[in-house]
A and B are shown apart, each in its own frame.
Chain A
Amino acid sequence: MSPSLDPLGAALQSPPVPAPGCSQAPVLRERGQREVFCGLTGIVWLHRKIQDAFFLVVGSRTCAHLMQSAAGVMIFAEPRFATAVMEERDLAGLADANEELDAAVTKLLERRPDIKMLFLVGSCPSEVIKLDLSRASERLSRQYAPDVRILSYSGSGIETTFTQGEDNCLAALVPTLPQAEGDEPNLLVIGALADVVEDQFARLFDALGMENVRFLPPRRSRDLPPVGPSTRFLLAQPFLGETARALEERGAQRIAAPFPLGAEGTTLWLKAAADAFGVDPMRIRSATAAPEARAKRALEPYRAELDGKRLFFFPDSQLEIPLARMLSRELGMELTEVGTPYLHRQHLSEELPLLPAETALSEGQDVDRQLDRARAIRPDIAVCGLGLANPLEAEGMTTKWSIELLFTPIQGYEQAADLAALFARPLDRRTRLRI
């Protein structure tokens, strides 16, 4: 299964061979029941990342229940998210709803004087009754400036799936970023990354001699990075369509790159940025060679376990295509169907050519029909959400629950093997258990 030429070497010597891969492949587009999270779920990791921000969902008991089911085990003295649950009388008149919202925000900020940034997060009910949260955030911002900055975005299920909540949150941050002064080029790395991953990338950019590198979102809401026409940005996550658009509106330019998953992915990602900043190829090589070799060494034992194993992706996070690329090229896994909730052709332009041409791509979902296909294929591993995982296990399929891919540091060289391990573990477990 393994391609005989070293994909990394090839990638570095010449730009990836413009083999078509999956760039022209037909995509199965399905409508029907979607077994996906709404964008509110992004709060679960965003509120840990931005440490002085609070997320107030304006929604129903359902939204509060979702947040709690997704984050219920996290026992904090004071969690930095909550729900303003709409009640009967809020539905009666929007004027009242706005007053009620102001009262809820006041109560909240009195309780939490340490909060510097408040996100009002829209939900399906608040959007269906057309409660204008952007107006509300402007109104409240005026009231609480300069102590608290109040922003809004939508995390509703009708507008967003899962990771798109992060996209909308970051997009809401973009207009508030300070203007970059001068024409000194600077780099922005976009997407919430585990702190350890962010630190590694910062060191790598340092080794590449790139000085002006900042990350969005920041760990503190007062450390917002500047942006302007001198800014180039590099997406660390594939689900950031809106954020990219907002950055482009501020004159920043995107650096096209595959995503930093696996040894190859990380090198190509770093190289794209370094090339854009005119870093000497020798310097790129010297900065990346050692960690890349280390990552590949760490991947080897997993390659032995995963080579030739057949993989099926249910749609979840938009990470599916970059993951499929990494797992097929670096670990020799065989792709059957790769489903994604939303396929952003432009942002995946560097990924799709790297996918094996025979991969079946699907966008959207009709879960019952997709389950039929998975049952017919009987993959060695099905990547799916928690609503499907145990039922599929009970049918004898091995699964990897996909949410973990958002809650685990997987990007960069040092995490390449951890990423592989996430997929090897369920198979390992299956062979260990004798019951």
Chain B
Amino acid sequence: MQLTVWTYEGPPHVGAMRIATAMEGVHYVLHAPQGDTYADLLFTMIERRDKRPPVTYTTFEARDLGKDTAELFQSTLIAAYERFLPQAVLVGSSCTAELIQDDPGGLAQAANLPVPVVPLELPSYQRKENWGAAETFYQLVRAMAGGQVSQSQNSDAAHSPLPAGISPTRGENGLFETPGTPFSPLAGEMSPEATEGGALAQASQSQTRRRPRCNILGPTALGFRHRDDVAEIRKLLGEIGVDVAVVAPLGATPGDLARLGEADFNVVLYPEIAGVAAKWLKRQFGQEFTTVVPIGVGATREFVAEVCRLAGIAAPEFAPEKPQSNLPWFSRSVDSNYLTGKRVFVFGDATHALAAARVATEEFGFTLCGLGTYTRELARDVRTAAKEYGVEPLISDDYLEVEAAIAEAQPELVLGTQMERHIAKRLGIGCAVISAPVHVQDYPARYSPQMGFEGANVLWDSWVHPLVMGLEEHLLGMFREDFEFNDEAVPSHLGSGARTAPEPAEGIQVADCEAPAGVGWGVDAEAELRKIPFFVRGKARRNTEKYAAERGLAEITVETLYDAKAHFSR
């Protein structure tokens, strides 16, 4: 048993719901106890959808358990089919139904519906939401797109579901040999030249004299900014001369999935969701797929280059006088000087965390002081990246562990999920959200992609916003005794309540924040410490205590404070 306060991911059947809800013409019949319909409101409230998710639950109760729950499943399935007349049906179990073992797949087969039925085996006690989404999408793609080829070609039709995760075997070495090479969960999956796909695209292109064509894979319901990422990338692809055949699962029908094989290659926006399906499509149709996730200016440029290579077209020249994104100039402008070396802690799903780490260091000039993910499937990528950045990787889905790591690292900015927002609020640190899970406010009305050149603009605004502005920061450092303008006041440009903890470092006691035993603060030293701006004060406190402890000092004086400052400033 794992003691869980907040959970980063839901159970795998929620992942399956995200696929079904993203698509048109798919219905999901879920064997689940009364009560599990709570998941509907993730879609109707958090994502604010105007329709009920296409999910019918059996909602069995205790009194049904003595009787025939299998019969209940079957009658629910038939009633749902007759009412909604979907083009394809997903059937599966929630965690409780998994225990009673009614075999929805077998029951659905026996029901003999006139449409494809895709049974889902989602091990609820081992796997989680993203895995469930990836597996569901993969099974649907196999069922629909697989129909295109003859059985004999379909050599792996009988193979059991792929292992969890997306790229358990990517090459993990040498990635940082060329500076700026992105960490992508899919990098290493493909031959570096990937000429095959390009050639393929070129060949078919010259035959039909059409523009190269790709699919966009990965966007789902309840995805973090998936709606606008798709729009942004679609626009970008159009500008460089690439057409989009199918976007899936978001907005796709089962019929659209059947056409996946017609595209020249695949764009994988969210490897956590679409990695497995993309690999299958490669085996099945020889379609190459992109491995760079276009978050940030640098990654977007590399993504464009990769797409052009796969499409067999010349990469566009981005004219410097007509910048694609405002981020580079904003970041170069002198106003941003004070951002240099700000310590930032990054946590999220692997794709967004890796992208954010790169953008933070290369495009904002921040210093990474922590990097982690809850996506165990991609732990290896994050470990490798953390090593290169010189930080300890944090692979955990334990909220308390993340909290302890952040408290320990004492960052000035946290880039994370909704959970890190909770943590940062407690610790009095600025925070921006970069990854699911998120709340309703991160499904905004306005256009807010994370990807592409406009996405980089959005990143700029949202990451800088929680920081105290430059001038304010200077004045706070100079005039510590100001009666209205002190560090317990909220930054002028933020709404009320953005920073709540007056004294970040001591306000909380995280279990393993060992205050070195026997080292006490003298009154003067304590007062001097308070003259250090709040966002570096925690770090100063920690360093001084460490310094004192190492030297066996019983009391910290003003002198110790400055000795430590000198010591650590090297």
Residues of A whose CB lies within 8 Å of any CB of B are: 32-41, 58, 60-62, 64-66, 68-70, 72-73, 75, 77, 79, 82-88, 90-91, 97, 100-101, 103-104, 107-108, 111, 124-125, 127-129, 156-159, 161, 368, 385-391, 393-394
Q: A82-B5, A87-B1, A125-B99 are in contact. Are A65 and B60 (CB under 8 A)?
A: no
Question: Which chain A residues border B9 with CB–CB below 8 Å?
Answer: 61
Determine which of A33, A65, A69, A100 lies in contact with B58 in the assembled complex, contact meaning CB atoms within 8 Å: A33
CB-CB contacts below 8 Å: B25-53 with A: 33-42, 44-46, 48-52
| Chain A, residue nearest B34 (CB) | A157
Q: How far apart sit A108 and B400, CA to CA, in the bound complex (Å)?
A: 12
Ordered by A's residue number, 18 sampled pairs between the chains whose C-beta atoms are within 8 Å are A38-B36, A61-B4, A61-B7, A62-B13, A66-B36, A75-B421, A75-B425, A79-B5, A84-B1, A84-B2, A85-B7, A87-B1, A104-B3, A156-B62, A157-B61, A158-B35, A390-B49, A391-B50
- Inter-subunit contact A70/B38 (CB<8 Å): yes
Q: A65-B10, A127-B62 are in contact. Are A387 and B99 (CB under 8 A)?
A: no
Chain A proximity of B230: nearest CB distance (Å):
22
Q: How far apart sit A133 and B431, CA to CA, in the bound complex (Å)?
A: 40
B483 contacts the other chain (CB 8 A): no
- Summarize A's interface: helix, strand, loop or mixed: helix
Chain B proximity of A98: nearest CB distance (Å):
10
Question: Which chain B residues border A33 with CB–CB below 8 Å?
Answer: 37, 56-59, 76
Question: Which chain B residues border A91 with CB–CB below 8 Å?
Answer: 99, 125
Chain B proximity of A294: nearest CB distance (Å):
34
Given contacts A34-B37, A61-B9, A62-B95, 5 further A-B contacts (CB under 8 A): A32-B76, A61-B7, A61-B128, A65-B7, A386-B41
Q: How far apart sit A383 and B1, CA to CA, in the bound complex (Å)?
A: 38
B426 contacts the other chain (CB 8 A): yes
B318 contacts the other chain (CB 8 A): no
B517 contacts the other chain (CB 8 A): no
Q: How far apart sit A399 and B200, CA to CA, in the bound complex (Å)?
A: 55
Q: How far apart sit A393 and B64, CA to CA, in the bound complex (Å)?
A: 33
Q: How large is the interface on B (under 10, 10 to 19, 20 to 34, 35 or more residues)?
A: 35 or more
- Inter-subunit contact A38/B38 (CB<8 Å): yes
**A37, A61, A64, A83, most chain B CB atoms within 10 A:** A61
Q: How far apart sit A128 and B62, CA to CA, in the bound complex (Å)?
A: 9
Question: Which chain A residues border B95 with CB–CB below 8 Å?
Answer: 60-62, 124-125
Q: How far apart sit A79 and B49, CA to CA, in the bound complex (Å)?
A: 29
* Total residue contacts A-B, CB cutoff 8 A: 184
Q: How far apart sit A382 and B79, CA to CA, in the bound complex (Å)?
A: 25
Q: How far apart sit A108 and B2, CA to CA, in the bound complex (Å)?
A: 11
| Chain A, residue nearest B48 (CB) | A390
| Chain B, residue nearest A101 (CB) | B1
Residues of B whose CB lies within 8 Å of any CB of A are: 1-7, 9-11, 13-14, 33-42, 44-46, 48-52, 56-62, 64-65, 76, 79, 83, 94-96, 99-100, 124-126, 128, 418, 421-422, 425-426, 439, 508, 511
Q: A36-B37, A101-B1 are in contact. Are A128 and B65 (CB under 8 A)?
A: yes
- Inter-subunit contact B1/A156 (CB<8 Å): no
- Inter-subunit contact B125/A84 (CB<8 Å): no
Determine which of B11, B14, B52, B511 lies in contact with A387 in the assembled complex, contact meaning CB atoms within 8 Å: B52
**B52, B94, B96, B421, most chain A CB atoms within 10 A:** B96
Chain B proximity of A31: nearest CB distance (Å):
9
- Inter-subunit contact B3/A82 (CB<8 Å): yes
Question: Which chain A residues border B42 with CB–CB below 8 Å?
Answer: 69
Q: A65-B14, A390-B49 are in contact. Are A158 and B6 (CB under 8 A)?
A: no
Question: Which chain B residues border A83 with CB–CB below 8 Å?
Answer: 3-4, 7
- Inter-subunit contact B422/A75 (CB<8 Å): yes
Determine which of B35, B83, B422 lies in contact with A36 in the assembled complex, contact meaning CB atoms within 8 Å: B35
- Inter-subunit contact A390/B65 (CB<8 Å): no
- Inter-subunit contact B1/A100 (CB<8 Å): yes
- Inter-subunit contact A391/B52 (CB<8 Å): yes
- Inter-subunit contact A77/B508 (CB<8 Å): yes
Q: How far apart sit A138 and B40, CA to CA, in the bound complex (Å)?
A: 37
Determine which of A69, A75, A85 lies in contact with B41 in the assembled complex, contact meaning CB atoms within 8 Å: A69
Q: How far apart sit A34 and B57, CA to CA, in the bound complex (Å)?
A: 8
**A62, A68, A161, A394, most chain B CB atoms within 10 A:** A62
Q: How far apart sit A127 and B95, CA to CA, in the bound complex (Å)?
A: 12
Q: How far apart sit A107 and B1, CA to CA, in the bound complex (Å)?
A: 11
Shortest beta-carbon contacts, A-B, top 10: A157-B35, A38-B35, A387-B40, A394-B50, A124-B96, A60-B95, A386-B41, A65-B10, A157-B33, A100-B1
Question: Which chain B residues border A124 with CB–CB below 8 Å?
Answer: 33, 35, 95-96
Determine which of A60, A72, A104, A389 lies in contact with B125 in the assembled complex, contact meaning CB atoms within 8 Å: A60
- Inter-subunit contact B51/A391 (CB<8 Å): yes
Q: How far apart sit A129 and B100, CA to CA, in the bound complex (Å)?
A: 9
Question: Which chain B residues border A156 with CB–CB below 8 Å?
Answer: 33, 35, 62
Q: A35-B40, A388-B52 are in contact. Are A64 and B100 (CB under 8 A)?
A: no
- Inter-subunit contact A128/B96 (CB<8 Å): yes
Question: Which chain B residues border A40 with CB–CB below 8 Å?
Answer: 35
- Inter-subunit contact A387/B37 (CB<8 Å): yes
Question: Which chain B residues border A84 with CB–CB below 8 Å?
Answer: 1-4
Q: A33-B58, A391-B44 are in contact. Are A66 and B38 (CB under 8 A)?
A: yes
**B1, B40, B41, B52, most chain A CB atoms within 10 A:** B1
Q: How far apart sit A227 and B422, CA to CA, in the bound complex (Å)?
A: 41
Question: Which chain A residues border B99 with CB–CB below 8 Å?
Answer: 91, 125, 128-129
Q: How far apart sit A387 and B94, CA to CA, in the bound complex (Å)?
A: 18
Q: How far apart sit A73 and B128, CA to CA, in the bound complex (Å)?
A: 22
- Inter-subunit contact B4/A158 (CB<8 Å): no
Chain A proximity of B418: nearest CB distance (Å):
7
Question: Which chain B residues border A79 with CB–CB below 8 Å?
Answer: 5
| Chain B, residue nearest A59 (CB) | B95
| Chain B, residue nearest A91 (CB) | B125
Q: How far apart sit A372 and B422, CA to CA, in the bound complex (Å)?
A: 41
Chain A proximity of B10: nearest CB distance (Å):
4
| Chain A, residue nearest B38 (CB) | A66
Question: Which chain B residues border A158 with CB–CB below 8 Å?
Answer: 33-35, 60-62, 64-65, 96
- Inter-subunit contact A389/B44 (CB<8 Å): yes
Question: Which chain A residues border B14 with CB–CB below 8 Å?
Answer: 62, 65
Chain B proximity of A80: nearest CB distance (Å):
10
| Chain B, residue nearest A157 (CB) | B35
Question: Which chain A residues border B124 with CB–CB below 8 Å?
Answer: 60-62
| Chain B, residue nearest A100 (CB) | B1
Q: How far apart sit A32 and B38, CA to CA, in the bound complex (Å)?
A: 16
| Chain B, residue nearest A389 (CB) | B44
Chain B proximity of A391: nearest CB distance (Å):
5
| Chain B, residue nearest A395 (CB) | B50
Question: Which chain B residues border A73 with CB–CB below 8 Å?
Answer: 439
| Chain A, residue nearest B14 (CB) | A65
| Chain B, residue nearest A58 (CB) | B1
- Inter-subunit contact A97/B439 (CB<8 Å): no
| Chain B, residue nearest A403 (CB) | B41
Question: Which chain B residues border A111 with CB–CB below 8 Å?
Answer: 511
Q: How far apart sit A77 and B500, CA to CA, in the bound complex (Å)?
A: 12
| Chain B, residue nearest A391 (CB) | B52
Question: Which chain A residues border B56 with CB–CB below 8 Å?
Answer: 33, 368
| Chain A, residue nearest B7 (CB) | A64
Q: How far apart sit A317 and B516, CA to CA, in the bound complex (Å)?
A: 52
Q: A33-B37, A91-B125, A129-B99 are in contact. Are A61 and B10 (CB under 8 A)?
A: yes
Q: How far apart sit A111 and B400, CA to CA, in the bound complex (Å)?
A: 11
Question: Which chain A residues border B76 with CB–CB below 8 Å?
Answer: 32-33
Determine which of A38, A72, A368 lies in contact with B418 in the assembled complex, contact meaning CB atoms within 8 Å: A72
Chain B proximity of A418: nearest CB distance (Å):
23
Question: Which chain B residues border A97 with CB–CB below 8 Å?
Answer: 1
- Inter-subunit contact A159/B10 (CB<8 Å): no
| Chain B, residue nearest A128 (CB) | B99
Question: Which chain A residues border B48 with CB–CB below 8 Å?
Answer: 390
Question: Which chain B residues border A127 with CB–CB below 8 Å?
Answer: 62
Q: How far apart sit A161 and B39, CA to CA, in the bound complex (Å)?
A: 15
Q: A65-B11, A391-B51 are in contact. Are A161 and B511 (CB under 8 A)?
A: no
Question: Which chain A residues border B2 with CB–CB below 8 Å?
Answer: 84-85, 87, 104
- Inter-subunit contact B37/A390 (CB<8 Å): no
